[in-house]
Amino acid sequence: MTDVPPRAARPLAARLRQVIALDPGATALTFGDRAYPWSYHAEAIQDLERLLGGPGVRRVGIVLRNRPALLSALIAVLATGREVITLSPFHGDTGLTEDIADLAPQAVIADPEDWSRQGIEDAARAVAALAVETGRDRALAGRDVGWRPDPGTADPSDVAVLMLTSGTTGRPKRVELTYTRLTAAFDASGTKAAMDAEVRLRPETGILWTSLVHISGLYFAVNNVLEGRTTALLERFQVDAWADLVRAHRPRIVGLPPAAMRMVLDAGVPGEVFEGVRAVLSGTAPLDPADAERFEARYGLPILTNYGATEFAGAIAGWHLKLHREWGHAKRGSVGRAHPGIELRIVDPESRTPLPPGETGVLEARGGQLPVDGDGWTRTTDLASLDEDGFLYIHGRADDAVNRGGFTIVPSVIEDALRAHPAVADASAVGLPDPRLGEVPVAAVTLRAPADPAELRAWLGDRLARYQLPTEIKVVDELPRTPSMKISRPGVRALFGRTTS
């Protein structure tokens, strides 16, 4: 392996390189019917250093499809202490070119199909970004475009990832995740044991299908390498393909956010698929306790929910098996307790006065993985409560609340009531501007059995206050989702002819 710049001595970068070097011939990654050895990542590091030509080229944009070469590119950029700028393959051509133009990476890594998209090469040329294309045998190859970036001078910045948020509540924004904060996030979630322990490869495989452009996918891709675990990569979630990997690898923990969990339940995946699985990790979106109960009853596996956000560099609260055995039944509906090193509090939305246990307010947190506000506490956009035993309950998003003529409506109240209807598979409620009332709620639903909007409205009329009733209910084939399978609220608004709240 070639020499790396001094910044790669950062603990997280150094750990990645140590693991990669342990056994070059052992399997690091599988995709379809092909296995990739740890040397595949080592070669990506070598090729990245050669192509970039020096430590001055630090900011590297990657169009992050869930494919082996792009996952390896992500690892290589972090293993050399550089900055990953996440670029979404799910943007249209115009959105992707605008991202490249606005963010001005010094290099762009993409698959050939993305380089062939309209305007992408021109956008890279306009910011003088080195063009790097993925290869068939080695992850990275140069792309002959006739220009090279200014090598500049080494940048001492600690930024590891310029991360795109999921955009569930509005236009996606960028969040700077530093090496310091990422390391703290891995420490808080338990990877500290691997970071501190003897470097070794583990005889385990982690199944990864969450998009690498989302914090969950990126986090677990890096975590698997830090812990010396093989990654079984899927390009997207498909129940049958996922179940085949679970059968083949028998992981102890599998990840299923709520939407994927409902897909597994609705597909009737047989119980023998989960032989050897000890628990299911769920996050990225609120989990309906009824879905958790249904899954646990069918498969006999505990659901370990967690709570986090892109801005937090991962999860800051959650369940683990020991905690679930002790408290799981008594604290159903909770997203768990704060992770080690994290403090949580609930405050009044206006005065920020801390509230006592059991009262609902805005959640604030502080800890090494969190961005710091003036007083050390980071304000979230979630309405929550903490009970007397320190368990966290999420009651909706403060910034999703609909103000209907002075009455505040939390969309999850409408959504929960709709999901309780036997014909409704899933639901999303949003606010739309109204010239008389300021905002009014509307809802979109998917069905598992026939039902019409009038029937659903009558159902809600028996369960909600009049001011909470949506002015329109639209039945759709599927709800718009982000790459992480969260419901996209901007996408739901677009169903009603609106693109902003």
- Bridge-partner residues for 427, per DSSP? 445
Amino acid identity of residue 461, one-letter, is: G
Mean pLDDT for 198-217 is 91
**DSSP helix/strand/coil, 107:** strand
Q: Are both 409 and 457 inside the same structural domain? A: yes
**Is 436 in the same domain as 487?**
yes
pLDDT band (50, 70, 90) for residue 480: very high
Q: Using the 3D structure, point to which of 159, 181, 203 is the last residue of a domain.
A: 181
pLDDT of residue 147: 61
SS3 letters across 142-179:
ECCCCCCCCCCCCCCCCEEEEEECCCCCCCCCEEEEEH
- Asked if 14 and 159 sit in the same domain, the reply is yes
Asked if 76 contacts 46 with a C-beta cutoff of 8 angstroms, the reply is no
Shared-domain flag, residues 247 and 388: no
In a domain, 209, yes or no: no
Take residue 424 and report the two structure tokens written for it. Answer: 């409704």
207 belongs to a structural domain: no
Query: Are 295 and 345 in the same domain?
Result: no
Q: Does 395 share its domain with 405?
A: no
pLDDT at 10: 81
- pLDDT given for residue 167 in this prediction: 46
**278-307 confidence digits (pLDDT tens):** 999 998 777 878 888 899 999 999 999 999
User: Domain containing 360 — which CATH number?
Assistant: 2.30.38.10
> Is the domain of 19 the same as that of 166?
yes
Number of domains observed in the structure of the chain: 4
pTM of this prediction exceeds 0.75:
yes
Both 243 and 333 in one domain: the answer is no
Separation CA 103–CA 178 (nearest Å): 17
Buried b (16+ CB within 10 A) or exposed e, 43-76: bbbbbbbebbeebebbbbbbbbbbbbbbbbbbbb
pLDDT at 13 over 90: yes
pLDDT, tens digit (0-9, with 9 covering 90-100), for 154-194: 677 899 999 876 544 444 578 899 999 999 999 888 877 66
Are 371 and 430 within one domain? no
Residue ending a domain, among 282, 301, 320, is 301
In a domain, 437, yes or no: yes
pLDDT digits (tens, 9 = 90+) for 433-464: 988 788 899 999 999 999 999 999 999 988 88
Using DSSP, state whether 344 is helix, strand or coil.
strand
Strand ranges for 343-455 from DSSP E: 343-347, 361-366, 378-386, 392-397, 402-404, 407-409, 424-434, 438-447
C-alpha to C-alpha distances, 123 to 77, 94, 97, nearest whole angstrom: 21, 10, 6
Is 287 within 8 Å of 262 (Cβ atoms)?
no
- The verdict on 37 and 150 lying in the same domain is yes
Q: Which residues contact 339 (CB under 8 A, 6 or more apart)?
A: 188, 189, 315, 316, 317, 318, 367
95 within a domain of the structure (yes/no) = yes
Whether residue 229 is contained in a domain is answered as no
b/e per residue 202-241 (b: at least 16 CB within 10 A) = eeebbbbbbbbbbbbbbbbbbbbbbbbbbbbbbeebebee
Average pLDDT taken over every residue of the chain: 89
- If asked whether residues 393 and 295 sit together in one domain, one would say no
DSSP code, position 7: G
Residues 201, 27: Cα–Cα separation, whole Å: 10
Same structural domain, 349 and 421: no
Contact 10, 81 (CB under 8 A): yes
Give the mean model confidence (pLDDT) for residues 76-84.
96
Tens digits of per-residue pLDDT, 47-66? 999 999 877 889 999 999 99
pLDDT value at residue 77: 97
Closest CA to 394 of 446, 317, 339, 491: 317
Boundary residue ending a domain (144, 163, 181): 181
- % of the chain surpassing 70 pLDDT: 93
215-226 and 68-79 are packed helices; what angle lies between their axes, rounded to 10 degrees? 70
Q: What CATH number corresponds to the domain at position 122?
A: 3.40.50.12780
pLDDT number for residue 149: 63
- The most confident of 69-78, 161-170, 179-188, 478-487, by mean pLDDT: 69-78
Three-state SS for 114? helix
Segment (H or E) for 14: helix 11-21
Domain CATH code at residue 260: 3.40.50.980
Q: Flag whether 214 is in a domain.
A: no
At residue 346, does pLDDT exceed 60? yes
Half-sphere exposure (CA, 13 Å, Cβ side) for 471?
13
For residue 274, what is the DSSP state? G
> Which residue reads 């092909």 in tokens?
34
> Quick one: average pLDDT of 247-272?
92
- Cα Rg of the chain, angstroms: 23
Range of the domain at 448: 401-495
Q: What is the pLDDT of residue 5?
A: 45
